[in-house]
A = this chain, B = another copy of it.
Amino acid sequence: MKLTILGCYAATPRTITNPTSQVLEMNGHMFLIDAGEGTQVQLRRRKLKFQRINHIFISHLHGDHFYGLIGLVSTFMLLNRQADLHIYGPKGIKEVILLQLRLSNSFTGYKLFFHELTSKESEVVFEDDKVVVRTIPLDHRVYTNGYLFESKPGDRRLRIGAIEDLGIDRCYYQKIKNGGDITLEDGTVVKNSDITYDPDPTESYAFCSDTCYSEQIVPIIKDVKVLYHESTFLDSEEHYTEKTKHCTAKEAAKIATLANAGTLILGHYSTRYSDITLFKKEAETVFKGNILNGDDGAVFNL
């Protein structure tokens, strides 16, 4: 699981910071999460093969999370993309993208699927044999969802030495990987646990931005391996959180603690702060797990 943060600052893009967008690579997928203005340039800057992106998840329709989407959709068109593209986001996202394509008399050569969200309950929005993605309803000024990405358990791993010693034929290998016991020719039953190791551990990543402090998300993200949680403010600006519906670093850390997260990544910093390490310092007073400062261009192998 690899996370590339293209941008993680709040509000307006500047020469030194970018609005929210990140790329999550998991089990062969390359997912784009949010797409603030300039996302396509950041994808190029980070040398990501962004034509591999087939699924884009938009949290909410504030500009710093989606104004770069139409540019990316258009660029895919100019690059003669053929693969389907799926866009998940709040109701209205289809209208705004299609209106802009229509006004420019443009037609994508690839199929564009919109999955518009309206539910206030967590729901599965994407699933295949490797990954499942579900929404995390957040509490912000407009309808907003975070997203929980979970890899599915793979096959059990063969203990080749033991299997060969028992003279088990290769034609049974998939049955063994699937967890099945084996009956030898002499009638002996070999337990699966004696000839396999557990599958590789599953991975999970929760993206939670933008939101005010909300314990309602804890059951959804319980035991998540990696939690990205917005931390727009430091404690000294805690009085802004109620009106803006954002969080402090300590509040993000409290959610990470309640959820028993393995790692907390902080981001969506207000541009008023020049030293983002202060966010980590404040979060460390609350959360005792691993804490990382998200930053533009940061690549985390998780």
Contacts and interface: CB of A to CB of B under 8 A. Distances in A.
Q: Which 6 A-B pairs have the closest CB atoms?
A: A61-B103, A92-B103, A12-B75, A63-B74, A37-B71, A62-B104
Contacts of A71: 12-13, 37, 63, 67
Assembly stoichiometry (copies): 2
Interface string A70-89: 11001100110000000000
Given A71-B63, A105-B142, A44 B14 contact: yes
A12 B40 contact: yes
A92 B92 CA distance: 17
A37 B66 CA distance: 12
A233 to B, nearest CB: 16
Interface of A: 11-15, 37-38, 40-41, 44-45, 61-63, 67-68, 70-71, 74-75, 78-79, 90, 92-93, 95-96, 99-100, 103-106, 141-142
B104 A142 contact: yes
B37 A68 contact: yes
B78 A12 contact: yes
A13 B37 contact: no
A15 B44 contact: yes
Nearest to A73: B63
Nearest to A64: B74
Contacts of A62: 104, 106
Given A12-B74, A37-B71, A105-B141, 18 more contacts: A12-B40, A12-B79, A13-B38, A13-B41, A14-B44, A15-B44, A15-B45, A37-B37, A37-B40, A62-B104, A63-B70, A63-B71, A67-B100, A96-B96, A96-B100, A96-B103, A103-B142, A104-B142
Residue among A67, A68, A70, A90 facing the most chain B CB atoms (10 A cut-off): A67
